Amino acid sequence: MIKRLVFFQKFFFAILFCFASSNLVRAEQNVVTLAYLENGLKELKNNEKQIALQLLANELIRDSGVKMIVQPVRSFAEMRQLISDGKVDYTILNGYHLLEHYDFLQSFFVTPLLTIQRGPSDRENFIIVANKQYIGQELINLQGKTLSLHPQYLLMKFYLEYLIENSSGLDILHFFSKIKYTKTASQAVLDVYFGSSDLCIIPKHIFDLTVELNPAIMQKIFIMHQSGKQFFPVLILNFKHVDNTIRTLINKNLSLLNQTARGQQILDMFSIQSVHTVKLKKLHPMQNIFKHYQSLLKK
């Protein structure tokens, strides 16, 4: 009798454990993690990022029965570990970080990717703007001059480093006599206009807006160089282990954000036009530039 009682107790607890485990699995399947680097999203102050991203997360999973957790990450090394461990479902990533860590990331993310569009085009055109006294000269001729740069645009800074390395064999710290780091991209243009810097690099859509607000600045400055529309500045990656039903729902809601009043308010907080899918082959132009830059550094 005692043996039979012990058997039934063990059987009961085994069933209970299986039931609890299955509930836990279902609960975990209904929780999605969105990770971002703390030193990213420079459009927002540090105390605003978590709030804004949680508002975004709530919009993406509204009426779905899914919970999205927003997780700040201190460094890419930490992000890399979380991705390897399968603890991140979505991540917002600077385009430069994608280029730098592509060999690692490609084993985990699914396509198509999601791109964040900040201007009228999904790909950004980086331009070099100089004082009109340098009309007729090329970038290589401006060695020893002064530059204004908004350093938070990592992809833009990388492209400038590529141009300088490719034309002179120098890094930007040794090519320019002085680099002034600005708080905004538009301030770099104004520095050139007022003569405190000889040139700057800026996304074309921000330059156009700056000129629209201050048409007179074109009297003293000109566009020396354009990269062409090649660069995706910010991307959203989702990973292979994410449930397809959840992925389809979130991707759809992301693409529809700019079609609702609440969604548009969230996009405006981040100075974003829209979010949409992009095929991997569209990244090839900026990937080729990055590969060429890496080969230059090895010489």
What are the backbone angles phi and psi of residue 221, rounded to the nearest 5°? -130, 165
CATH homologous superfamily of 10-120+233-281 equals: Periplasmic binding protein-like II (3.40.190.10)
Please give the pLDDT value at position 37: 87
Q: Would you identify the CATH topology of the domain 124-231? A: D-Maltodextrin-Binding Protein; domain 2 (3.40.190)
Contact between 270 and 44 (Cβ < 8 Å): yes
Q: Taking the CB of residue 298, how many other CB atoms lie within 10 A of it?
A: 5
Residue 262, classed as helix, strand or coil, is helix
Contact between 130 and 192 (Cβ < 8 Å): yes
- Pick from 128, 153, 159, 123: which is nearest to 231 by CA? 123
pLDDT averaged per 10 residues in sequence order, the chain, 299 residues: 42 37 43 86 62 84 85 92 95 93 96 88 95 96 97 94 97 97 95 97 96 95 97 93 89 84 85 87 97 93
CA distance 294 to 277: 28
Q: What is the pTM of this model?
A: 0.86
Note whether 10-120+233-281 and 124-231 share their fold: yes
Please give the pLDDT value at position 41: 63
Amino acid at 156: M
Q: Taking the CB of residue 59, how many other CB atoms lie within 10 A of it?
A: 18
What residue ranges do the domains of the chain occupy?
10-120+233-281, 124-231
Buried b (16+ CB within 10 A) or exposed e, 19-44: eeeeeeeeeeeeebbbbbbeebbbeb
Residue 142, classed as helix, strand or coil, is helix
Tell me 214's DSSP state: -
Structure tokens at 269: 């907080």
- Pick from 167, 286, 275, 287: which is nearest to 228 by CA? 286
Task: Indicate the helix (H) or strand (E) that contains 226.
Answer: strand 221-231
What are the backbone angles phi and psi of residue 205, rounded to the nearest 5°? -70, -30
Ordered DSSP codes for 43-91: TS-HHHHHHHHHHHHHHHTTTTT-EEEEEEES-HHHHHHHHHTT--SEE
Please give the pLDDT value at position 47: 61
Please give the pLDDT value at position 20: 37
- Pick from 87, 31, 28, 91: which is nearest to 61 by CA? 31
* Alpha-carbon dihedral angle through residues 187, 189, 191, 192, given to the nearest 10 degrees: 180
Contacts of 66 (CB under 8 A, 6+ apart): 30, 31, 32, 246, 249
From the DSSP assignment, how many helices (H) and strands (E) are in the chain? 12, 11
